[in-house]
């Protein structure tokens, strides 16, 4: 009966073997392989990013320009998503099932483990309802964000806007993760680091339904967020709004600078847009509309990016260089008979008294005078050649900040263009081109390209009699921290300050010199305004109207440039608008005697008139 | 009164102690698995640990009743009990309630019970009774047929309920029969079949073919086949192959190379079998037959796999073998289970501190995956202790079984030990990712009244029989 009793050893052997295999497996899983411990941590911890409040932006008088409002992004971590009632979720959010599935697919494509946005910017009301039911949707959670809010619909270009970071930005700076916002233009971009603050993180235990089960190790590894700094800008929002009003229905730009500090008081690009358009879910739609479907290109910041030849305004520079190089004195006179004639060459001029001295050449904006001055500089025997003369001339020009970025604290600044001898060598295919070849530089035409910001800086420099501060738009931060020291450093031009007086005399005559003065419409009773008109030749239509001015003459408080595209002459739109702006800034209001002019400027429509 | 003291004296208290210890540890881990701050009272019967306490109490009661019953009763009523359980298995198919795709539960109000669990001890009694009948001869066709019938009937009924896992348990009776004299070749063949099944799924047909060929050639050589005959065999086979190939060419039929090889092998084997029989090389004949059968089996595994098994079973097997990998889909349970156990480390995270179980990352953690809680909270030390306790209990049962005078008691004892072992092997193997996901409980640990009672009945009937081990039961 018991002849098989030895078989107990076989059976017991099998049993023991299996248990031994299990113990070896346990040894491997629990002690040798460390990866399971990590996986367990990943499973049960959730790092919740704590977003700091973005810094607020104020104007120079402490008026609020940008603040924050709360919004809620619904985030998804595909790995943690379980079967859920799609219809229920869609109803809660008020979206299509199709869109929901598309979002899930997109999130999976981005990453299974990292959170991506499922639905952006829920309203507080929807958020309140959703929060109650969120436990039904594992893998979803809500991330609070702050959106920008603008109490005034003004200064959109200067303030800039925020957009979601793109892949490249995330790659360049590991600070950002998907769904974060980053300043894309204006102040928001330049001062992104200061405004954004530092994200914090809170670590929680979560269960399989992604419900928070308590703080991880009592918050030992949490990091509180650091709020962004508030920023006080140099803008005077009253002046900014007034400028935008004056520029309504016109294309162009205005830049106003406080000469003794380089602070930008107003920076207008027209047509403008409402900064609110770039907030919230409608943003992408609005962006497309403004970029693709608006022929006026409202996003294009004309105050910084429009490159115009400076026109007659540039005569001021040539006058200063002429004086510095001693090819003229204030008393030097040149003849003008409706233009400048050399052999076959003619540069036209309007009819005025002749000959003129320096002051009156500015007042009447005589082309022939500056053709003579410019030629005298280039052909000055001391330099040996026209090319060497040109180099001297160019060096003076560059010292005003032309031809290169000024280095303002605003993105998208452009260099502009001041031609070089090499440029002309290529253009004329010879080394020794002549002064007459480039004579249009004398009156600010030709190859010169200058941005309105550079032009405003030039006026500020003249107002300062020879130096400038790099124009800037940030004044200081809320915590008292100052902006970059480079903005406090005086930049000297290569023109001695004594030579500014006659030029400024001429500029004052432009406004209040009586008969023939080109800028009379900029005059303000009781304030000594100095200015200069300009007309930029425009091959595509009506010429552009340019006007530069500063006031008061002594101890100037404001330097301004006004460009009005298709404004024909500097006198027609540029001068009145500049005058009104200066008066608004210095006095706070427009005097009765100029109300008619203000009304005419506001009502002038250079955009829609043309279309008819 | 003397009888009672006799019984108490002759009971195997070591087994009872192990049983009590395991049930207690099981309860502790169920408490940890479903623990939450809201319900801390251990008697809260709205929670699983509260209910389990009730089941444990009832199990104790059942154990006492079994111990009171005369041991003769169990052998006498083995068949009626078996038939009654078959009846229950059939009626659950008709009146049962669907739970997770399986129709294996009776429901009386709030109480549910699973007849498949109780069919185990009934089948165990019946097979013990049959095997020890005087006319039973293990290698007689009739005996084999009837004992197979006793095993396959409940197995088939349970498969019909949709609970393939519980049905597989009955395969472990092969070990019991082995103890009673079943040829070791059967065990070996069973082992071979399992191995071949896995290889077939993992490797290409050609690899399998070469494997079987080389193994059988080596075996044939060891059994005394001469090199000369090998050469002859290969020559004959080559001849057949080329013949088939040429025929295919002439008739313009496109035979696959497998087809050519297999058909020529079949044709080659027939004369070879005849040859070896004549030469009295019986072993070689057997080897040829076995390798031929393995070949046939291996090629039909693919068919069985894709046509007989259901999709979820296929994916579970593929997951296990690493053919498919989807840790967030089909493989989620096992992946999470391994993470939970793996994160336990050497000494574990401590009682109630297991994040993976407490926060419900592991599914079915109080029932099928209870071993995860052990692994996570008690670590390598705890898990090993639990495994060793279970192993000790099972080995103890084997020793007890061998000391029976009555073969009925011995066979039953082996049955109990083997059933417990099968549950241990499959359940723990599953949580460690070594066995496919088959939902069967860990004895004494998993939450659930039916399984606890079933294991208790199984065990205590044997303890009752053991108390009378010196009597001869017929």
Are residues B279 and B222 part of one domain?
Answer: yes
B335-346 tens-digit pLDDT: 888 888 888 888
The residue to which tokens 């300043």 are assigned? A183
The pLDDT of residue A316: 93
Spatial contact of B386 and A26, defined as CB atoms under 8 Å apart: no
**Alpha-carbon gap, residue B169 to B166, rounded angstroms:** 6
The sign of the CA dihedral B178, B179, B184, B188 is positive
The pLDDT of residue B328: 59
Out of A321-325, B135-139, B465-469, which region has the weakest mean confidence (pLDDT)? Answer: B135-139
- Whether residue B187 has a cis bond before it, omega within 30° of 0: no
Q: Is B345 left (phi over 0), alpha (psi -120 to 50) or beta?
A: left
The pLDDT of residue B324: 67
* A302-512 classified as CATH 3.40.710.10: yes
> Which residue of B173, B174, B328, B339 to mutate against A (max A Cβ within 10 Å)?
B339
pLDDT, chain B, mean: 83
Which domain, by its residues, includes B80? 74-119+134-182
Average pLDDT over residues B43-69: 88
Nearest CB to B425 within list A7, A10, A18 = A18
Spatial contact of B398 and B414, defined as CB atoms under 8 Å apart: yes
The pLDDT of residue A231: 93
Answer whether residue B107 is part of any domain.
yes
The residue to which tokens 């022939």 are assigned? A368
Are residues B287 and B220 part of one domain?
Answer: yes
The pLDDT of residue B353: 78
State whether residue A39 sits within 8 Å of chain B by CB: yes
Are residues B92 and B156 part of one domain?
Answer: yes
Q: In total, how many domains does chain B have?
A: 3
State whether residue A331 sits within 8 Å of chain B by CB: no
Name the residue with higher pLDDT: B272 or A285. Answer: A285
Nearest CB to A30 within list B355, B359, B380 = B380
Answer whether residue B437 is part of any domain.
no
CB neighbourhood size of B471 (10 A): 14
The pLDDT of residue A211: 67
Pairwise CB contact (< 8 Å): B345 & A1: no
B416-456 tens-digit pLDDT: 999 999 999 999 999 998 888 888 899 999 988 889 999 99
State whether residue A21 sits within 8 Å of chain B by CB: yes
Cα of A35 to nearest chain B Cα, Å = 8
B380 contacts on A by Cβ (under 8 Å): 26-27, 30-31
Pairwise CB contact (< 8 Å): B379 & A25: no
B346-402 tens-digit pLDDT: 888 888 877 777 777 777 777 888 999 999 999 999 999 999 999 999 999 999 999
Nearest CB to B359 within list A7, A30, A207 = A207
A208 contacts on B by Cβ (under 8 Å): 359-361
A209 contacts on B by Cβ (under 8 Å): 360
- With a CB cutoff of 8 Å and minimum separation 6, the contacts of A69 are A146, A147, A148, A149
Pairwise CB contact (< 8 Å): B179 & A213: no
What tokens were used for B361?
């990352």
Answer whether residue B200 is part of any domain.
no
Spatial contact of A306 and A300, defined as CB atoms under 8 Å apart: yes
Pairwise CB contact (< 8 Å): B339 & A40: yes
B365 contacts on A by Cβ (under 8 Å): none
User: E strand or H helix at A64, and its extent?
Assistant: strand A64-76
Are residues B61 and B78 part of one domain?
Answer: no
Residue at which a domain ends, from B242, B273, B308: B308
Answer whether residue B104 is part of any domain.
yes
| Per-residue DSSP letter, B52 | H
**Residue B302: band (very low, low, confident or very high) from pLDDT cuts 50, 70, 90:** confident
| Per-residue DSSP letter, A231 | E
Phi, psi of B341 (to 5 degrees): -65, -45
Spatial contact of A279 and A148, defined as CB atoms under 8 Å apart: yes
Nearest CB to B394 within list A15, A36, A112 = A15
Are residues B272 and B226 part of one domain?
Answer: yes
Percent of chain B with pLDDT over 90: 31
The pLDDT of residue B460: 95
Are residues B152 and B217 part of one domain?
Answer: no
Answer whether residue B45 is part of any domain.
yes
Answer whether residue B403 is part of any domain.
no
Pairwise CB contact (< 8 Å): B434 & A33: no
Answer whether residue B443 is part of any domain.
no
Cα of B430 to nearest chain A Cα, Å = 11
Rounded to the nearest 5 degrees, what angle is found at the Cα of A208, between the Cα atoms of A207 and A213?
10
Q: What is the ipTM of this complex?
A: 0.86
A64-76 vs A140-149, strand pairing mode: antiparallel
A166-191 tens-digit pLDDT: 888 888 888 888 778 899 889 999 99
Answer whether residue B174 is part of any domain.
yes
A16 contacts on B by Cβ (under 8 Å): 391, 395
B140-199 tens-digit pLDDT: 888 889 999 999 999 999 988 888 888 889 989 989 988 888 888 788 888 878 787 777
Are residues B64 and B80 part of one domain?
Answer: no
> Which residue of A26, A42, A83 to mutate against B (max B Cβ within 10 Å)?
A26
What tokens were used for A511?
């406004």
What tokens were used for A123?
């309203």
Are residues B174 and B98 part of one domain?
Answer: yes
State whether residue A32 sits within 8 Å of chain B by CB: no
Pairwise CB contact (< 8 Å): B380 & A31: yes
Pick from B332, B418, B336: nearest CA to B371? B336
State whether residue A44 sits within 8 Å of chain B by CB: yes
The pLDDT of residue B5: 59
B424 contacts on A by Cβ (under 8 Å): 18-19
The pLDDT of residue B411: 93
Rg (CA), chain A: 34
B432 contacts on A by Cβ (under 8 Å): 22, 25-26, 29
Beta-bridge partner residues of B333: none
Are residues B278 and B247 part of one domain?
Answer: yes
Residue at which a domain ends, from B273, B308, B343: B308
CATH classification of A71-145, choosing from 1.20.120, 3.30.750, 1.10.10, 3.30.70? 3.30.70
The pLDDT of residue A611: 44
Q: In chain A, which stretches have pLDDT less than 70?
A: 1-2, 208-211, 213, 217-219, 516, 570, 609-612
Are residues B304 and B211 part of one domain?
Answer: yes
Domains in chain A: boundaries: 71-145, 148-203+219-245, 302-512
| Per-residue DSSP letter, B183 | -
Are residues B242 and B220 part of one domain?
Answer: yes
Pairwise CB contact (< 8 Å): B355 & A205: yes
The pLDDT of residue A354: 81
B276-300 tens-digit pLDDT: 777 666 677 777 777 777 777 777 7
Cα of A100 to nearest chain B Cα, Å = 21
Q: Is the pLDDT of residue B7 over 70?
A: yes
The residue to which tokens 């108390």 are assigned? B467
State whether residue A40 sits within 8 Å of chain B by CB: yes
Q: By CA distance, what is B184's nearest residue in A?
A: A7
């Amino acid at each position: 009966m018991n002849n098989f009793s030895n078989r107990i050893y076989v059976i017991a052997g099998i049993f023991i073997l299996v248990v031994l295999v299990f113990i070896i497996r346990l040894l491997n899983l629990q002690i040798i392989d460390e990866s399971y411990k990590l996986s367990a941590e990943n499973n049960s911890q959730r790092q919740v990013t704590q977003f700091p409040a973005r810094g607020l932006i104020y104007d120079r008088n402490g008026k609020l320009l940008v603040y924050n409002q709360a919004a809620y992004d619904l985030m998804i971590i595909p790995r943690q998503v379980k079967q859920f009632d799609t219809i229920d979720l869609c109803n809660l959010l008020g979206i299509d099932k199709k869109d929901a599935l598309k979002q899930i697919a997109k999130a999976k494509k981005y990453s299974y483990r990292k959170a991506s946005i499922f639905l952006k910017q829920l309203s507080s009301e929807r958020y309140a309802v959703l929060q109650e039911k969120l436990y039904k949707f594992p893998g979803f959670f809500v991330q609070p964000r702050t959106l920008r809010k603008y109490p005034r619909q003004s200064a959109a270009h200067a303030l800039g806007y925020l957009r979601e970071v793109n892949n490249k930005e995330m790659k360049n700076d590991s600070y950002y993760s998907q769904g974060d916002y980053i300043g894309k233009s204006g102040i928001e971009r330049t001062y992104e680091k200061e405004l954004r603050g530092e994200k914090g993180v809170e670590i929680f235990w979560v269960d399989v339904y992604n419900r928070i089960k308590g703080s991880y190790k009592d918050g030992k590894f949490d990091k509180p967020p650091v709020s962004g700094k508030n920023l006080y800008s140099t803008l005077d929002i009253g002046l900014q709004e007034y400028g935008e009003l004056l520029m309504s229905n016109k294309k162009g730009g205005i830049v106003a600078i406080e000469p003794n500090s380089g602070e930008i008081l107003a920076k207008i690009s027209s047509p403008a847009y409402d900064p609110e358009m770039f907030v919230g879910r409608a943003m992408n739609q609005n962006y497309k509309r403004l970029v693709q479907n608006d022929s006026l290109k409202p996003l294009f910041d004309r105050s910084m990016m429009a490159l115009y030849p400076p026109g007659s305004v540039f005569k001021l520079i040539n006058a200063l260089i002429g004086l510095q190089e001693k090819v003229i004195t204030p008393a030097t006179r040149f003849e003008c008979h409706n233009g400048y004639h050399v052999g076959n060459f003619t540069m036209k001029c309007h009819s005025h008294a002749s000959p003129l001295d320096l002051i009156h050449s500015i007042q009447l904006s005589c082309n022939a005078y500056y053709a003579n001055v410019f030629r005298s500089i280039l052909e000055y025997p001391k330099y040996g050649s026209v090319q060497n003369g040109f180099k001297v001339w160019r060096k003076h020009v560059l010292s005003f900040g032309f031809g290169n970025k000024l280095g303002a604290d605003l993105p998208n600044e452009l260099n502009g263009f001041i031609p070089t001898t090499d440029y002309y060598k290529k253009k004329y295919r010879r080394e020794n081109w002549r002064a007459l070849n480039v004579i249009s530089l004398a009156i600010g035409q030709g190859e010169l390209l200058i941005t309105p910001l550079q032009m405003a800086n030039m006026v500020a420099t003249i107002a300062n009699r020879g130096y400038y501060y790099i124009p800037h738009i940030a004044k200081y931060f809320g915590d008292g921290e100052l902006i970059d020291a480079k903005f406090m450093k005086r930049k000297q031009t290569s023109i001695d300050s004594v030579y500014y007086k006659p030029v400024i005399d001429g500029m004052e005559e432009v406004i209040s010199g009586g008969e023939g003065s080109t800028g009379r419409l900029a005059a303000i009773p009781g304030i000594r305004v100095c200015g200069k008109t300009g007309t930029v030749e425009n091959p595509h239509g009506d010429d552009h109207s340019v006007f530069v001015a500063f006031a008061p003459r002594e101890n100037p408080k404001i330097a301004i440039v006004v460009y009005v595209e298709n404004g024909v002459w500097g006198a027609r739109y540029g001068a009145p608008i500049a005058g009104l702006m200066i008066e608004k800034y210095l006095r706070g209001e427009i005097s009765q005697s100029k109300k008619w002019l203000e009304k005419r400027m506001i009502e002038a429509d250079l955009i829609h008139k043309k279309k008819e | 009164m003397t009888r009672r003291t006799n019984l108490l004296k002759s009971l195997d208290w070591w087994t009872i102690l192990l049983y009590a210890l395991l049930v207690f540890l099981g309860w502790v881990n169920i408490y940890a698995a479903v623990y939450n701050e809201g319900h801390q009272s251990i008697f809260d019967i709205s929670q699983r640990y509260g209910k389990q306490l009730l089941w444990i109490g009832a199990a104790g009661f059942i154990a006492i009743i079994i111990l009171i019953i005369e041991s003769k009763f169990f052998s006498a009523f083995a068949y009626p009990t078996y038939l009654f359980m078959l009846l229950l298995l059939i009626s659950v198919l008709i009146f049962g309630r669907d739970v997770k795709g399986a129709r294996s539960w009776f429901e009386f109000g709030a109480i549910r019970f699973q007849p498949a669990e109780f069919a185990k001890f009934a089948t165990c009694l019946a097979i013990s009774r049959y095997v020890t009948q005087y006319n039973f001869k293990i290698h007689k066709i009739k005996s084999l047929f009837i004992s197979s019938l006793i095993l396959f009937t409940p197995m088939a009924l349970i498969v019909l309920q949709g609970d393939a896992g519980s049905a597989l348990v009955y395969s472990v009776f092969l070990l019991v029969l082995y103890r009673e004299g079943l040829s070791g070749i059967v065990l070996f063949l069973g082992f071979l079949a399992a191995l071949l099944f896995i290889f077939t799924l993992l490797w290409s047909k050609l690899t399998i073919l070469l494997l079987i060929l080389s193994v059988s050639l080596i075996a044939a050589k060891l059994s005394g086949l001469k090199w000369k005959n090998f050469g002859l065999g290969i020559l004959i086979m080559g001849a057949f192959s080329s013949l088939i190939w040429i025929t295919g060419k002439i008739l313009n039929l496109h035979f696959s190379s497998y087809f050519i090889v297999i058909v020529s092998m079949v044709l080659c084997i027939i004369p070879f079998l005849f040859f070896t029989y004549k030469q009295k090389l019986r072993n070689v004949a057997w080897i040829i037959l076995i390798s031929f059968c393995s070949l046939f089996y291996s090629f039909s595994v693919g068919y069985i796999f894709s046509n007989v098994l259901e999709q979820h079973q296929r994916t579970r097997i593929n997951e296990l073998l690493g053919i498919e990998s989807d840790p967030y889909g089909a493989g989620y349970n096992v992946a999470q289970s391994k993470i939970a156990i793996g994160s336990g480390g050497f000494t574990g995270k401590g009682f109630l501190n297991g994040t993976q179980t407490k926060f419900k990352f592991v599914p079915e953690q109080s029932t099928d995956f209870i071993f995860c809680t052990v692994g996570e909270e008690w670590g390598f030390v705890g898990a090993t202790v639990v495994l060793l306790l279970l192993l000790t209990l099972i080995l103890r049962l084997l020793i007890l079984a061998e000391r029976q005078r009555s073969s009925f008691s011995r066979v039953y004892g082996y049955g109990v030990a083997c059933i417990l072992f099968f549950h241990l092997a499959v359940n723990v193997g599953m949580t460690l990712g070594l066995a496919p996901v088959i939902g069967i409980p860990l004895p004494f640990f998993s939450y659930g009244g039916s399984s606890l009672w079933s294991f208790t009945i199984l065990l205590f009937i044997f303890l009752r029989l053991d108390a009378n081990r010196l009597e001869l039961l017929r």
